[in-house]
Amino acid sequence: MSLKDKAFAVRDKAYAPYSNFKVGAAIKSQSGDVFVGCNVENVAYPEGTCAEAGAIAAMVAGGETKLTEVYVVADAPLPVSPCGGCRQKLIEFGAGDVVVTMATTSGIEQSMTLADLMPGAFTEEHLGNS
């Protein structure tokens, strides 16, 4: 199953009873393993979890800390990019040249690198720990 197929499949499992805006994400780790996540809403909106954050959590729980590719899908007229918080989470585990493909359920795709999505990202280098 491709990264795209896995993102589409997990999107169907999203828990979005309030917005009905289901999102699925699949990330490929440095080892080639694929981890998925879907958005999980909460009646207290800020307490929900984004699909990308869920996929990252699954990757870390699986013992991986480097991602090499990301695919995100939502049922929207145009591809939906990761939110600002998820962009920061993605850059934590991926280099600037990692490609993020954003797609609609109707098949429209747009790809950008993490560096393009998160210019001026706050990284470990800012802490002087590199």
Q: What are phi and psi of 118, to 5 degrees?
A: -135, 65
Tell me whether residue 73 is annotated as binding: no
What band does 130 get if pLDDT is binned at 50, 70 and 90? low
Lowest mean pLDDT among 12-16, 85-89, 90-94, 126-130: 126-130
Tell me whether residue 60 is annotated as binding: no
Cα distance between residue 68 and residue 22, in whole Å = 24
CATH code: domain of residue 42: 3.40.140.10
CB 33, CB 18: distance < 8 Å? no
What band does 19 get if pLDDT is binned at 50, 70 and 90? very high
Q: Considering 47, 52, 92, 124, which one is annotated as catalytic?
A: 52
Please list, residue by residue across 93-122, b when 16 or more beta carbons sit within 10 angstroms of its beta carbon and e when fewer do. bbeeebebbbbbeeeeeeebebeebbeebe
52 is catalytic: yes
* Enclosing domain of residue 39: 3-127
Mean pLDDT computed over every residue of the chain? 95
Query: How many percent of the chain have pLDDT more than 90?
Result: 88
- Is a pLDDT exceeding 90 seen at residue 57? yes
The predicted-structure confidence for 85-102, as pLDDT tens digits, reads as follows 999 999 999 999 999 999
Residue positions counted in the chain: 130
Tell me whether residue 42 is annotated as binding: yes
Task: Give the chain's domain count.
Answer: 1
Mean pLDDT of 69-73: 98
Tell me whether residue 38 is annotated as binding: no
Whole-model pTM above 0.75? Answer: yes
